[in-house]
Amino acid sequence: MKKIKTLCGTTALSLLKLVSQGDRLAFWELWLLYDDYLSRCCLKWMGGNQTDAEEALSLVKLKAWEKLPKYAEKITNLKPWLTRMTYNLCLDLHRQRKRNIMAIESIETVGGEESFAYCHHSPESAILHSELRMLIYIITKNLSSRLRSPFILHFYQGIPYPDIAQKLGISQDNVYKRIQEARKILQPQLKKYLSGIDNSFSLLSLKEEDIINNFYQDVKCLSSTNFEQINYEVTAISLEKICWVKGADSLGLEFNVQLISKKKPIRQEQKIKTLLKYVKQYPSGWKKRLELADLLYERGNWEQAIKEYRQVIQQQPQLINVCVKLSKILELMKRQAEAIQIYEKALKSCNNLASEHHIKGLIAVCKNQKDIAIKAFDLATSLEPENSAHWLALGQVQIQMKNEMAALKAFEEILLLHPDDLIALINSYDALLILGNFQEAEIILSKLAKLYPDEYLVLKRQLINRLQLKLVFEEEGKHTKKMVTAIVKLAPYSADAHQLKAQYYHLRKDKIKAVAVLAEFTKQYPNNPQGWEYLEQCLQE
């Protein structure tokens, strides 16, 4: 076989020399050497359609007749030269017939509901799709990871937006925006290529099999790699002293925590009972268990929630935000060593560099290494400036370091992304008060009151402001009293809420009622040290 190929090659070179000298008979002898091979190529690349293949072969023959005498002296290997010409001509035929359809399928679909992997509507379009896959592999390599990851997951894996959002730890809106941004970058290059304006991609010189294999290795790697970003709501878990739920630390002392949750507490007890039965019946499942853990967390059943979160992480260690949430809870319960262990486990399965820096910052906070934490969160913001979680974490540490101006700048970055964000507005308000910028603080509080009139965090600050102004008599006093009633109703086991109620009576010169409020609270919640502290202060006033 090798000897036959060598003879064929020698014959071709001899005939090429004659063709270059204008010998047309030599051309036909040369053509016959490759006629069967090129016929099979045309049949394959025209989707198995015999008529189209014959048409393509005729056109190749005419083009070779025209071009070969001109380039014969420069050609060292005729077979690849003819193959490339045949391939390109078949593509040209597909472009002429399918250009408009393919423009819709391959450009408008980038951002629609279908994947490039499933765009074959007819056999004859297969070859153009094959080249498009190679082209898209090349140009998507130039996309940034924040755009490339959701794009590939959606269009090559067929993963829907909600699942991509969960995998990457971002909102569905963010997934959609990133895919649209990637689409805008890719569209001009695809349009040029499909219209024939840009033929700069030497795709035939590359091995299609190698390109596609490399691409799908990338897709496989991306599917199994954890690019999860730190979630904003998880970062917003903070010790607020006043809240809807109570917890207890390792010593059994009670405290109150402000939970950040978009869900309304509707029929939670019934949902918890249903989920408990489900996880007992299907212990290997993790999604329902995670839902159960979240509900237990929101209800304040933290010990049980911790147990469920641990089981989820054991089954799904790549769920970074679950790890962060569990660690945050452990921190609030003064169990820093356990929190650090969970953070360190999360680091091992994290392949998002910004998330890595964020988690390292959280570990530093647990170790009371605030300077290291600030540097880590700073790096995270530089890598993912659009992720509010990094700015919030940075601002929170700056507040702890009493760098209110730096904290304010971090919160402002969040507000540039989300102007009505509750947590950023609250933190900005607090920082402005510390800095003595009362006028700007008042503007923010007014905005908060309009946006979130029934939100506990807002009511608390409004009430503090009114008590500082001593608005406790006549009509203003009635309005203040309504706010006192509302805040205690929102947080019935909050020491701070009852302290504000006691302060209201104290300003009205009714010390007996003020003391009675706190005495009753300490009786109901004897393990809450803050309640006893407030009672002692009230007795001394």
**pLDDT tens digits for the chain (541 residues)?**
333 333 344 567 777 778 777 777 888 888 888 888 899 988 888 888 888 888 888 888 888 888 888 887 777 788 888 888 888 888 878 766 654 444 334 433 443 333 333 344 444 455 555 556 666 667 777 787 778 878 877 776 667 787 787 777 677 778 888 888 888 888 777 766 655 555 555 444 444 444 445 555 555 555 445 556 666 666 665 433 333 344 444 444 444 444 444 444 556 788 899 999 999 999 888 989 999 998 888 777 888 999 999 999 998 888 888 999 999 989 888 899 999 999 999 998 887 888 899 999 999 999 999 999 999 999 999 888 888 999 999 999 999 999 999 999 999 999 998 999 999 999 999 999 999 999 999 999 999 999 999 998 999 999 999 999 999 999 999 999 999 999 999 888 788 999 999 999 999 999 999 999 999 999 988 877 888 999 999 998 8
**Any idea what the Cα angle at residue 66 is, between residues 62 and 69, rounded to 5°?**
130
Cα Rg of the chain, angstroms = 34
Q: Could you tell me how far CA 102 lies from the centroid of its own chain?
A: 30
Q: How many CA atoms lie within 13 A of 165 on its CB side?
A: 12
Closest CA to 182 of 121, 130, 100, 116: 116
Return the pLDDT at 129: 57
Whole-Å CA distances, 153 to 145, 222, 226: 12, 8, 12
Return the pLDDT at 227: 52
Return the pLDDT at 214: 54
Superfamily of domain 369-452: Tetratricopeptide repeat domain (1.25.40.10)
Could you please report the per-residue DSSP string of 490-531? H-TT-HHHHHHHHHHHHHTT-HHHHHHHHHHHHHH-TT-HHH
Closest CA to 374 of 355, 354, 395, 356: 395
Domain map of the chain by residue range? 2-92, 109-224, 229-351, 369-452, 454-541
Fold of 454-541: 1.25.40
CATH architecture label of 2-92: Orthogonal Bundle (1.10)
369-452 and 454-541 share one fold:
yes
CB neighbour class for 300 (10 Å; exposed up to 12, middle 13-18, buried from 19): middle
Instruction: Give the whole-angstrom CA distance, residue 437 versus residue 446.
Output: 15
Output the six-digit token pair for 525: 């919640």
Closest CA to 146 of 383, 418, 381, 389: 383
3-state secondary structure 449-487: HHHCCCCHHHHHHHHHHHHHCCCCCHHHHHHHHHHHHHH
Return the pLDDT at 212: 47
CATH architecture label of 109-224: Orthogonal Bundle (1.10)
8 Å CB contact between 361 and 377: yes
Residue 258 φ/ψ, nearest 5 degrees? -85, 115
Q: How many CB atoms lie within 10 A of CB 397?
A: 25
Instruction: Give the whole-angstrom CA distance, residue 200 versus residue 207.
Output: 16
Return the pLDDT at 396: 93
Could you please report the per-residue DSSP string of 119-137? ---SGGGHHHHHHHHHHHH
CATH architecture label of 229-351: Alpha Horseshoe (1.25)
Could you please report the per-residue DSSP string of 213-280? HHHHHHHHHHHHS--PPPPHHHHT-B--S--SEEEE-TTS-EEEEB---SS--SSHHHHHHHHHHHHH
Instruction: Give the whole-angstrom CA distance, residue 134 versus residue 153.
Output: 17
CB neighbour class for 359 (10 Å; exposed up to 12, middle 13-18, buried from 19): buried
